[in-house]
């Protein structure tokens, strides 16, 4: 049990790091698990995740995707309409990723868990009327328990499977026993294959601005893996950066290459769901991850009184968005 407690960082309390110019985002009440910002400052926010073993503040409400324009003076979040024919009732969005094609078409990939399954939904973003046009649902035997995706083409991506089992009891057993059966899969219409394995729980995944490296957060191993991407889409391990926190989603600043991550300082609190002792929030910025000594800065941290269970942090133009698994979202000016 002690190793399971270690993987959850069960004893850690958080030293606060305050940011002065922050406000909660109106309208986001039931999670903002993942956020992806386009180069033009439009931010997509995945909300309403229901995940085995974790609480939901709106258990009967389908998930939704919000949009925020970070160029506005006071950005607001508005729900994106999704085209007819898509089953909104069972929409349960998790990780997301955008891809801009050569013709400037914006694609949004959304990990979805309808009826406790795992699919990846492909949408086209219709900017003229702020809606999402559903193009296809991707299912595959290798996409078993998908957590996050990073798009590498208009219909191809890398995906993390955070567990081997999706059933909660087996999933907990997997964690308890310390099985490293979690993996990363490359998906394209022509080829689907496992490209990395041996994780406790591969979670957030992203790509370097030069597209040479893939970054993978292993949430229960408290680290970030750097993998080199090859022409055949295979990955080879370059290095691992150890952290004292459970890194969830990874965002990459396209200008600096810095990695920003939303973290759970103490994973036990996520599962315990004690209103008097909520899960805390922590945001890290990782600079020069390829260097001998990368710089890791705690940009924001708080004990859960404002924001519970941070899962993502991403920046645009000195603006920081911080999202959570099932709680609110925070907008900060740096």
Q: Is 232 annotated as a binding residue?
A: no
Q: Is 161 annotated as a binding residue?
A: no
First CA to last CA distance, the chain: 41
| Range list of H helices, the chain | 2-7, 168-177, 267-272
Q: Is 96 annotated as a binding residue?
A: yes
Q: Which of 223, 205, 201, 202 is nearest to 215 (CA)?
A: 205
Q: Which of 268, 160, 180 is nearest to 221 (CA)?
A: 180
H or E stretch including 230? none
Q: Is 92 annotated as a binding residue?
A: no
Q: Which two tokens stand for residue 19?
A: 């940011």
The CB density around residue 119, as the number of other CB atoms within 10 Å, is: 19
Could you confirm whether 230 is annotated as catalytic? no
Q: Are 328 and 309 in contact (CB under 8 A)?
A: no
Cα-trace Rg, the chain: 18
Q: Which of 263, 328, 316, 284 is nearest to 9 (CA)?
A: 263
Q: Is 248 annotated as a binding residue?
A: yes
Q: Is 13 annotated as a binding residue?
A: no
Q: Considering the candidates 94, 134, 163, 264, report the single residue annotated as catalytic.
A: 94
Alpha-carbon distance 290 to 209, whole Å? 13
Active site residues per annotation? 94
| Binding residue numbers for Ca(2+) | 33-34, 96, 147-148, 203, 248-249
| Binding residue numbers | 33-34, 96, 147-148, 203, 248-249
């Amino acid at each position: 049990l002690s190793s399971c407690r270690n993987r959850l960082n069960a004893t850690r309390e958080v030293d606060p790091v305050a940011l002065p110019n922050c406000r909660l985002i109106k309208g986001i009440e039931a999670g903002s698990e993942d956020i992806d910002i386009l180069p033009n400052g439009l931010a997509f926010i995945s909300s309403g995740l229901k995940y085995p073993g974790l609480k939901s503040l709106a258990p009967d409400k389908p998930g939704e995707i919000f949009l925020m324009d970070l160029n506005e003076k006071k950005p607001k979040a508005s729900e994106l309409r999704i085209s007819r024919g898509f089953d909104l009732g069972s929409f349960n969005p998790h990780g997301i990723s955008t891809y801009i094609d050569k013709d400037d078409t914006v694609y949004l990939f959304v990990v979805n868990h309808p009826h406790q399954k795992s699919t990846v939904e492909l949408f086209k973003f219709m900017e003229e009327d702020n809606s999402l046009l559903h193009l296809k649902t991707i299912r595959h035997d290798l996409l078993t328990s998908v957590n996050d995706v990073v798009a590498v083409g208009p219909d191809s991506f890398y995906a993390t499977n955070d567990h081997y089992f999706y059933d909660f009891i087996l999933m907990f057993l997997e964690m308890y026993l310390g099985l490293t059966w979690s993996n990363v899969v490359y998906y394209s219409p022509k080829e689907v294959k496992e490209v990395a394995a041996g994780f406790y729980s591969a979670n957030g995944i992203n790509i370097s601005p030069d597209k040479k490296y893939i970054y993978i957060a292993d949430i229960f191993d408290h680290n970030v893996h750097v993998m080199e991407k090859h022409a055949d889409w295979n990955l080879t391990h370059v290095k691992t950066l150890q952290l004292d926190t459970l890194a969830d989603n990874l965002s990459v600043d396209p200008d600096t290459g810095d990695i920003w991550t939303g973290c759970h300082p103490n994973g036990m609190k996520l599962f315990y769901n004690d209103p008097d002792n909520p899960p805390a929030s922590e945001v890290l910025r990782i600079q020069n991850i390829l260097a001998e000594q990368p710089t890791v800065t705690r940009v924001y941290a708080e004990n859960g009184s404002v924001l519970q269970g941070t899962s993502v942090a991403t920046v645009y133009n000195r603006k920081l968005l911080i999202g959570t698994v099932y709680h609110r979202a925070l907008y900060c000016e740096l």
